[in-house]
Amino acid sequence: MRFYTKQHKFYCGIDLHAKKMYVCILDESGEIRLHRNITTARDVFLGVIEPFREDIVVAVECMFTWYWIADLCKEHRIPFVLGHALYMKAIHGGKAKNDKIDSHKIAVLLRGGMIPMAYTYPATMRATRDLLRRRNHLMRKRAELYAHIQNTRSQYNLSDFLGRIAKPHNREGVVEQFEDPSVQKMIDADLAVIAAYDPIIAKMERDIISITNHHDPVAYALLKSIPGIGRILGLVILYEIETITRFPSVQDFVSYCRLVKCRKESNGKTYGSSGKKIGNSHLKWAFSEAAALFLKGNEPGKRYLDRLTNKHGKGKALSILAHKMGRAVYFMLKNKEAFDQNKFLGL
């Protein structure tokens, strides 16, 4: 956890919403100089903080509307702090809670050097990263439909006639395999939605390949040197990382990727783990996917997984492989080295 500890003359805490934002400005002695609910607009915000512009820092809690105010502060060279929502427990506690109280608490945390910082992702790569995330969202929705069809087949104890229905030519005659008319209509609806998703996702992937030009081409080439990581998955990992230099150590990186569990300890006793939702869920998925794809047609990789499975069980073995791949990516990007499978597998 990192805190913003720089000193300023004025500290601005904002409880930000889509249409309104509650602004609280403290001076260096902690006195409230302004406390007002204003419209969420660029000109209104700049007008409110104008008397304090000589030396002010602005902080907001990380939520979906922070992009515009971060870009505005950067444009006008105003220091900006993005507070980590899951660490900011102070503003979520208390007997009473409202926008006015929250904005004051954010300003107090900022002034006291106790506001936990989230990473302010740069605007140049942000939109493409969000496009990649949207593509993954649609992919998961389509995968749910595939799974529903397969689960329905299992419910009626039908033979495994479906094959790889991810390929359009394997979907012919699937509906007719079910006898009940209601089930047929259900499966037909699933297939119709899948058919609608296919061209949309294919076009998104083509667009992503054509517009991604703000990333490091060397880092992208290094990622694709890993068996199983192709163009899209490589871009997902690269755009979620942005730059490996933002992580001081490999431990920080794998923790951010949710590839390790954080133990809870007190007085020499362990009370399980915590912080499962702290970190980047997209990188967690990407490295889990990369670990599975790494094994396809890779006999040395499968033998390595078998050894892990015999010792830890299949589920934990895949988690260990994903964690190991995350560590490998960190050092590959840091040292500008291509993937070495023999070294990775300890051969």
Pair 222, 336: CB distance under 8 Å: yes
- Give pLDDT, residue 163: 62
DSSP annotation of 176: G
Question: Residue 80, class by beta-carbon neighbours within 10 Å (0-12 exposed, 13-18 middle, 19+ buried)?
Answer: buried
Alpha-carbon distance 174 to 156, whole Å? 14
User: Burial letters for 317-328: b for 16+ Cβ neighbours within 10 Å, e otherwise?
Assistant: bbbbbbbbbbbb
Coil, strand or helix at 22: strand
With contact defined as beta carbons under 8 Å apart, do 83 and 117 qualify? yes
Handedness of CA 121, 125, 127, 128 (dihedral sign): negative
Q: What is the pLDDT of residue 346?
A: 87
Beta bridge partners of 269: 266
Q: Tokens in use for 238?
A: 């690269």
SS3 1: coil
Distance between CA atoms of residues 22 and 1, nearest Å: 26
What pLDDT is attached to residue 231? 94
The pLDDT of residue 161: 60
Structure tokens at 56: 């002010």
Unique residue bearing structure tokens 């047609």: 297
Phi, psi for residue 115 in degrees, rounded to 5: -90, 120
The answer to whether the CB of 244 falls within 8 A of the CB of 333 is yes
Give the per-residue pLDDT at 94.
Answer: 72
List, in sequence order, every beta strand (DSSP E) within the chain. Answer: 10-16, 20-27, 32-39, 56-61, 80-83, 262-266, 269-274
d(CA 205, CA 192): 21
**Separation between Cα atoms, residue 69 and residue 7, nearest integer Å:** 21
Tens-binned pLDDT, residue by residue, of the chain (347 aa): 789 999 999 999 999 999 999 999 999 999 999 999 999 999 999 999 999 999 999 999 998 899 999 999 999 999 999 999 888 876 777 778 899 999 999 999 999 999 999 999 999 999 999 999 999 999 999 999 999 998 998 898 887 766 678 888 888 888 988 999 999 999 999 999 999 999 999 999 999 999 988 888 999 999 999 999 999 999 999 999 999 999 999 999 999 999 988 777 777 777 777 767 789 999 999 999 999 999 999 999 999 999 999 999 998 999 999 999 999 999 999 999 999 999 999 87
State which amino acid sits at residue 334. K
Residues 6+ apart with CB under 8 A from 91: 61, 97, 101, 102, 105, 106, 109
Nearest CA among 235, 226, 238, 219 for reference residue 295: 226
- Backbone torsions φ then ψ of 338, nearest 5 degrees: -75, 165
Query: Quick one: pLDDT at residue 32?
Result: 97
Beta-carbon contacts of 47 under 8 Å, excluding residues fewer than 6 positions away, are none
* Predicted local distance difference test score (pLDDT) of residue 271: 74
Domain covering 10-111, topology:
Nucleotidyltransferase; domain 5 (3.30.420)
Among candidates 162, 124, 87, which has minimal Cα distance to 239?
Answer: 124
The SS3 assignment for 103 reads helix
**CA 324/CA 154 separation, integer angstroms:** 35
With left for phi above 0 and alpha for psi between -120 and 50, is residue 30 left, alpha or beta? left
